[in-house]
Amino acid sequence: MKKIRIGMLGLGTVGSGVVRIVEGHQEDLQRQTGAELVLSKIAVRDINKSRKVTVDPALLTEDPWEVINDPEIDVIVEVMGGVEQTKEYILAALDKGKQVITANKDLIALHGPEILAKAAEKRCDIMYEASVAGGIPILRTLVEGFSSDRITKIVGIVNGTTNYILTKMTQEGASYEDVLVEAQRLGYAEQDPTSDVEGFDAAYKMIILGSLGFHVHLSLNDLDIRGISKVTSDDIASAKRLGYTIKLLGIAERQDDLISISVQPTMVKDSHPLASVNGVFNAIYVYGQAVGETMFYGPGAGDMPTATSVVADLVAVTRNLLTGINGSRSSMIMNEKKLKSDEQIVSKYFMRLHVADKAGVLAKITQIFADYDISLESVLQLPNNGTDEQETEIIIITHDASKAGLNKALAKFEEIEVVKAVRSVYRVEG
């Protein structure tokens, strides 16, 4: 039986899962591919570190170039993270005609076009199913399952760490800091968890989803990005009171070839299926012109779910190696990218305003909204909590409004004396 030799970069959370699956499911994998999958070399930072899996110490090296330059190795599995240096390793591996599998969304989102071009030039596979939504086979679904349709909207909970934090804050009143530490311990968070909580990890994943779904090269500058670090327990309580749940949503839309894409904490109506996606689970809603609404659900992070996707790529690459068709998917004709302006981005919004508690205040506020063509769905004045009888809070949900109009109204609130503070603003979905 033909042997396919695998060189790994990284043996942490995901890498350990890959070793477990390749070893534990070897017989099934052989039956499916017709080849033996052999782990040949593994680069780590510290070969003396204790590991979650047992591997032959002779396989380990602290020099990734030893893996890349090994002429026996057919496939590089990159599960170490990092961007610039890692890009160098991957480009070098492709240059040597090796197939590449990666779980690295930062790398693909930031340097995808260059890496894909190199893979196409060398007729090599570059596969990255694990980079988006851990265990959900969403990239293959977008590229293959939806190849007959025109995708118009992708809405996703695509970061497990923040969904885990928001769920614990909502259901148990847990503190943001405590839950973040727990998510790190469980292997969900990135090496630098700022990427999770400030929305960058989700943004990288939305860039990948949007690029594959709409056939354009999206980049970081195309997104509005807001994370969850400023979501307060008061916001969560207000959402609950009105029948909403706060979720960090990535939203990519295409309308007449105009695209908008963002990542932001969003008020999701409790009746919407995304509102009940909890814990480390992810879900991606895909709207296609022909198919209508579809939703894909599963674990978004963690060792075994993520490794499932890596090894599925390994099966696909192995099959391609045996039939000699590697690289056939690396080139795709891309559309010209046209982004919506702020006037064209339309949504409902929720906001909490801290205002003076006196006659005429509400009239002033609604007039400002009217000046910018924003009509209101509901206005709720909270009972004064007694700490300051001169001031109170109102909660507003708008009808569909342009982002430009909303920003102008918010700037106006800064100027008028009766609005003491804009406490929070959220997009509303569902």
* Residues carrying an active site annotation: 205
Phi and psi at 5, nearest 5°, equal -95, 130
The footprint of ligand NDP (CB under 6 A) covers 10-15, 43-46, 49, 64, 79-82, 103-104, 130-131, 134, 187-188, 190-191, 301-302, 306
Closest distance to ligand LTNE7NMQ from the beta carbon of 160 (Å): 4
Contact range with Na ion by CB under 5 A, out of 117-125, 129-137, 165-173, 368-376? 129-137
How far apart are alpha carbons 156 and 159 in whole angstroms?
Answer: 9
Q: Which residues contact 255 (CB under 8 A, 6 or more apart)?
A: 152, 340
How far apart are alpha carbons 4 and 248 in whole angstroms?
Answer: 40
CB closer to ligand LTNE7NMQ out of 106 and 253:
106
Interacting partner of 199 out of ligand LTNE7NMQ, ligand NDP, Na ion, none (Cβ under 5 to 8 A depending on kind): none
Binding of residue 190 to ligand LTNE7NMQ (CB under 6 A): yes
Per DSSP, 50 falls in state -
Contact range with ligand LTNE7NMQ by CB under 6 A, out of 113-121, 187-195, 330-338, 421-429? 187-195
The 3-state secondary structure of 81-139, one letter per residue: CCCHHHHHHHHHHHHCCCEEEECCHHHHHHHHHHHHHHHHHCCCCEECHHHCCCCCCHH
**Residue 329, SS3 per DSSP:** coil
**Residue 300 marked as a ligand binder:** no
Closest distance to ligand LTNE7NMQ from the beta carbon of 264 (Å): 16
Closest distance to ligand LTNE7NMQ from the beta carbon of 55 (Å): 23
In the numeric block, which tokens belong to residue 387?
Answer: 């700490």
Closest distance to ligand NDP from the beta carbon of 97 (Å): 22
Binding of residue 163 to Na ion (CB under 5 A): no
Q: Name which of 6, 208, 162, 190 is nearest 82 in CA terms.
A: 190
Binding of residue 299 to ligand LTNE7NMQ (CB under 6 A): no
Closest distance to Na ion from the beta carbon of 390 (Å): 53
From candidates 128, 188, 285, 349, binder to ligand LTNE7NMQ by CB under 6 A: 188
Per DSSP, 383 falls in state P
How far apart are alpha carbons 406 and 97 in whole angstroms?
Answer: 52
The type of residue at 381 is Q
Given a contact cutoff of 8 angstroms between Cβ atoms, the answer to whether 377 and 398 are in contact is: yes
Interacting partner of 79 out of ligand NDP, ligand LTNE7NMQ, Na ion, none (Cβ under 5 to 8 A depending on kind): ligand NDP
Given a contact cutoff of 8 angstroms between Cβ atoms, the answer to whether 40 and 13 are in contact is: no
The type of residue at 398 is T
Contact range with ligand LTNE7NMQ by CB under 6 A, out of 183-191, 207-215, 319-327, 384-392? 183-191
**Residue 361 marked as a ligand binder:** no
What number of other Cβ atoms are within 10 A of residue 223's Cβ? 26
Per DSSP, 172 falls in state H
CB closer to ligand NDP out of 196 and 235:
196
Which residue has its beta carbon closest to ligand NDP?
Answer: 12
Interacting partner of 94 out of ligand NDP, ligand LTNE7NMQ, Na ion, none (Cβ under 5 to 8 A depending on kind): none
Interacting partner of 187 out of ligand LTNE7NMQ, ligand NDP, Na ion, none (Cβ under 5 to 8 A depending on kind): ligand NDP
How far apart are alpha carbons 272 and 295 in whole angstroms?
Answer: 11
Closest distance to ligand LTNE7NMQ from the beta carbon of 14 (Å): 9
**Residue 16 marked as a ligand binder:** yes
Closest distance to ligand LTNE7NMQ from the beta carbon of 109 (Å): 12
From candidates 211, 260, 309, 318, binder to Na ion by CB under 5 A: 309
Residues pairing with 298 in the sheet:
282
**Residue 7, SS3 per DSSP:** strand
Q: Where are the beta strands (DSSP E) in 256-321?
A: 258-269, 281-288, 292-299
CB burial of 398-414 (b: ≥16 within 10 Å; e: otherwise) equals beebbbebbebbbebbe
Interaction site with ligand LTNE7NMQ (CB under 6 A): 134, 159-161, 188-190, 196, 201, 300-301
Binding-site residues, please? 9-16, 105, 190
Interaction site with Na ion (CB under 5 A): 129, 132-133, 136, 138, 309
